[in-house]
Homo-oligomer: A and B are copies of this chain.
């Protein structure tokens, strides 16, 4: 990975390399966590939290900032986000607990109509989703989870049993 990166950068002209070097130097100075959703941000509030055209009543809870990038690419998520910083069993940053308290504070303070829990479809992600749902339920906010099922372009013959079982359970009318 390091070799690939060096060979790739080596083909850049000097000006680009200087720019890149400067950005790298100031990375920790310029990139912070959004104070509302804990996404990465260049300002106090990230680009999504400070965009008032977005649906302010929907919060999508994710494990990591990279999940936001993937969800944004679908163009089907129009609300705000909240980055937990890992799962209940494995917080990304050992020194910093998951941002659950901060999520609940947002839910109590603002008028939220739906929380979409978009933790990963893994054992840890599922456990975290259920753990969160227990706290959100008493607040009477609609809580949903991304669908489990067959990935687009996949093949039933080669699907694992858990995925296929989930796809049968979650089957939809057409």
A contact residues vs B (CB 8 Å cutoff): 62-64, 66-67, 69-71, 73-77, 116-118, 120-122, 129-130, 133, 142-174
- Cα of A148 to Cα of B168 in the assembled complex, Å: 10
Q: Are B170 and A160 in contact (CB under 8 A)?
A: no
Q: A76-B169, A144-B171 are in contact. List 5 more A-B contacts (CB 8 A).
A: A121-B150, A121-B154, A145-B171, A147-B171, A152-B160
Q: Determine which of B156, B163, B170 lies in contact with A120 in the assembled complex, contact meaning CB atoms within 8 Å.
A: B156
Q: Determine which of B73, B149, B163, B169 lies in contact with A167 in the assembled complex, contact meaning CB atoms within 8 Å.
A: B149
- The 26 listed contacts between A and B (C-beta, < 8 Å) are A62-B156, A67-B157, A74-B165, A75-B165, A116-B171, A118-B156, A121-B153, A121-B154, A122-B154, A144-B172, A144-B174, A145-B171, A145-B173, A145-B174, A146-B149, A146-B168, A147-B148, A147-B168, A148-B150, A148-B151, A149-B151, A151-B160, A152-B160, A152-B162, A152-B166, A170-B172
Q: Are B156 and A67 in contact (CB under 8 A)?
A: yes
- Cα of A174 to Cα of B130 in the assembled complex, Å: 8
A75: which B residues are within 8 A, CB to CB? 165
Count copies of this chain in the complex.
Answer: 2
Q: Determine which of B66, B73, B74, B145 lies in contact with A172 in the assembled complex, contact meaning CB atoms within 8 Å.
A: B145
A63: which B residues are within 8 A, CB to CB? 156
- Cα of A49 to Cα of B63 in the assembled complex, Å: 46
> Closest Cβ of chain B: how far from A142's Cβ, in Å?
7
Given known contacts A133-B174, A171-B116, is B66 in contact with A153 (CB within 8 Å)? no
